Amino acid sequence: MNMKRNTSNEREHWGGSLGFIFAAAGSAIGLGNIWKFPYITGMNGGGVFILVYLFCIFLIGLPIMICEIAIGRHTQKNPLGAFLQLDKNNRLSRSFGTVFLLIGLGFFCFGKYGLGGVFSLIAVIVYYFGWGFVGLGGIFTGFLILAFYGTVGGWVTAYIFKGLFQQLNFETVEEASQVFNNFVASPTSVLPYQIVFMLLCAFVVWFGIKNGIELASKLLLPFLFILLIILILRGITLDGANKGIEFLVSPDFSKLTPEGVLVALGHAFFSLSLGMGCILTYGSYLDPSKNILSSSLNIVFLDTMVALMAGFAIFPAVFAMGMSPDAGPGLALQIMPLTFNSIGDHLGWLWSSLFFLLLSIAAWTSGISLLEVLVTSLIDEFKFSRHQAVMFSTVITTALGVLATVCCTDWSRLPWLEKALVALFGSTNNSMFDLLDNISCNYLLPLGGLGTSIFVGWIWGTHHAIAEIRRGSHQTVDVNFFTLLAGLKDDPNSQEKTHTMTLATVWGIFIRFITPICVIIAFLHAIGWLHFD
Ligand code: TRP
């Protein structure tokens, strides 16, 4: 086999644009789309939430995705290496380090030793790495996300078999939730599936970019679409399904809350795999001749379509069976088997198994992308071979994931850890699982996205980023925004550049101002410093 060795000057590349789009869409399409998106839509008013989410995806998610791909492709490096290479303004990052140090000392003065320690550590890292801190933080975030992602990956994998063995034929909501609660509270039942899930991710990453990730994504994604379409057809042909469809397509603006807007924004990051260097890493395997702008549009489009399709697979069935759309996180794992079982065609077990197969495949291609970030960083920065890096990363993330599984609903199995966290930080989340989820999604991803957009907009500079994006897409990037809106792109008379409002200009304005401001607002809300009521 002539698999290219991954040395720093000979980086493996995707087979083509399509390979990149498939892999990145595989990363983006995951539990976020099929498990989370439907239930947060159900809890936030249906159609109107979808509308807001679409705004967030296109106005904030898309610009940041373009940023990440541009950084990755320009540097051909992992997140840490990429930020280090582009960081030319050390003095500014040093002053950030001083700010962090002062905050840390402040916490020490108030007896908050845990937070004081964390901020002082950040200060040291910022002094040492400058803007590389954003990349390093991203790698760390990916490590945390993959740990608890493996737990949920284990659940959905196990549920395929539970379905096949007729263990999901529920009659009542209580029965469904009892089975689910007992299952997640029993590490010995979850761990084997979690380890299988992690090994499946490791298996694909082992074979590298073209023969591993690209091949797996090209095989799995079409299969995922077929499964989704089967489930949608099953759902919308049930009697009473139209109420579910109505719920999704008729926005009721009275149900729009400021809270819902911010949930939508946070989810846009998670769903598109942004804010931690995942798409950046995939971008580093992209050839300069490929079009970043159209690739990003394709990835965002596919991700959004699957989220919407998941809505259409789930809500018509939920409404047809008279269930409530706002069941929360249990929607997929409790309500769906119940719904399938109550269809009354005696094939409930089959529909359930297919549904969880769909979830597992989606989770698999996302888990792969999270693992690849760690692997590529170890290869680039520590000169590991790919196989060593895969083994090492899988072992450490599975180890942290085991803690999340053992401590999934409360701390009762690791009381010393809870005590230690409370002693250091004053309080902690309900469980290790919640802690990992909360820290990474509510804090680290928005901060990573903010760091990335500020870095590209103000440090590396939009002019350098645009130069990178132009390679392979100059025809698209320099199209006049208004000419495009008016449908006159191919009109020979509007070619002369009398207006300067090109797509590049629009993107630059977003990345420097609109995107960072929106993220700051969402972040302040997430940490409870900003209320809208
Ligand atoms: N986007 C995936 C989902 O929707 C999860 C995921 C993969 C992710 N890579 C990521 C989330 C990087 C944040 C950052 O389930």
CATH of the domain at 468: 1.10.4160
The pLDDT, as a whole number, for residue 7 is 44
Among 449, 29, 458, which residue's Cα sits nearest to residue 266? 449
Name the domain count of the chain.
1
Residues 6 or more apart whose Cβ sits within 8 Å of residue 209: 12, 13, 14, 285
Residue 95 forms part of a structural domain? no
pLDDT of 2 above 80: no
**Burial class of 339 by CB neighbour count within 10 A (0 to 12, 13 to 18, 19+):** buried
Q: What percent of the chain has pLDDT over 90?
A: 63
| Residues within a 6 A CB radius of ligand 1 | 27-28, 30-33, 145, 270-271, 273, 275-276, 278, 366, 369-370, 445
Residues 6 or more apart whose Cβ sits within 8 Å of residue 304: 54, 57
Pocket perturbation via mutation, ligand 1, pick of 141, 149, 273, 376 by most ligand atoms within 8 A of CB? 273
The pLDDT, as a whole number, for residue 6 is 44
Pocket perturbation via mutation, ligand 1, pick of 57, 156, 271, 444 by most ligand atoms within 8 A of CB? 271
Residue 94 forms part of a structural domain? no
| C-alpha separations of 449 from 148, 276, 305 in Å | 21, 7, 23
Q: Rounded CA gap, 468 and 10, in Å?
A: 19
Residue 228 forms part of a structural domain? yes
Residue 148 forms part of a structural domain? yes
State the residue range of the domain holding 244: 17-89+131-474+500-526
Rg (CA), the chain: 23
The pLDDT, as a whole number, for residue 182 is 93
Max distance between CA atoms of the chain, in angstroms, equals: 73
161-204, pLDDT tens digit by residue? 999 999 999 888 889 889 999 999 999 999 999 999 999 999 99
The pLDDT, as a whole number, for residue 332 is 86
SS3 for 426?
Answer: coil
What is the per-residue DSSP string for 335-380? IHHHHHHHT-SS-HHHHHHHHHHHHHHHHHHHHHHHHHHHHHHHHH
pLDDT of 76 above 80: yes
430-449, pLDDT tens digit by residue? 899 989 988 888 789 888 99
pLDDT of 316 above 80: yes
| C-alpha separations of 350 from 183, 229, 341, 398, 471 in Å | 20, 15, 9, 30, 48
pLDDT of 414 above 70: yes
The pLDDT, as a whole number, for residue 4 is 43
Residue 119 forms part of a structural domain? no
Residue 289 forms part of a structural domain? yes
The pLDDT, as a whole number, for residue 339 is 84
124-146, pLDDT tens digit by residue? 999 999 999 999 999 999 999 99
Q: How far is the CA of 254 from the centre of ligand 1 (A)?
A: 31
Residue 151 forms part of a structural domain? yes
The pLDDT, as a whole number, for residue 320 is 85
Residues 6 or more apart whose Cβ sits within 8 Å of residue 174: none
Task: Classify residue 486 by its DSSP letter.
Answer: T
Name the closest-CA residue to atom 14, ligand 1.
273
Mean local confidence (pLDDT), 396-414: 94
Q: How far is the CA of 162 from the centre of ligand 1 (A)?
A: 26
Q: How far is the CA of 435 from the centre of ligand 1 (A)?
A: 17
**Could you identify the atom of ligand 1 that is nearest to the CA of residue 31?**
15
Mean local confidence (pLDDT), 243-253: 89
Question: pLDDT grade, residue 5 (50/70/90)?
Answer: very low
The pLDDT, as a whole number, for residue 526 is 65
Among 336, 270, 299, which residue's Cα sits nearest to residue 42? 336
348-391, pLDDT tens digit by residue? 899 999 999 999 999 999 999 999 999 999 999 999 999 999 99
Pocket perturbation via mutation, ligand 1, pick of 53, 143, 270 by most ligand atoms within 8 A of CB? 270
**Could you identify the atom of ligand 1 that is nearest to the CA of residue 369?**
9
SS3 for 237?
Answer: coil
Average pLDDT over all residues of the chain: 89
Inter-residue contact 395 to 195 (CB < 8 Å): no
Q: How far is the CA of 359 from the centre of ligand 1 (A)?
A: 13
The pLDDT, as a whole number, for residue 8 is 46
Beta strands, E only, 257-327: none
Residue 362 forms part of a structural domain? yes
Inter-residue contact 197 to 157 (CB < 8 Å): yes
Inter-residue contact 306 to 27 (CB < 8 Å): no
Sequence length of the chain is: 533
Among 29, 79, 22, 73, which residue's Cα sits nearest to residue 213? 22
Q: What's the count of helices (H) and strands (E) in the chain, helices before strands?
A: 28, 0
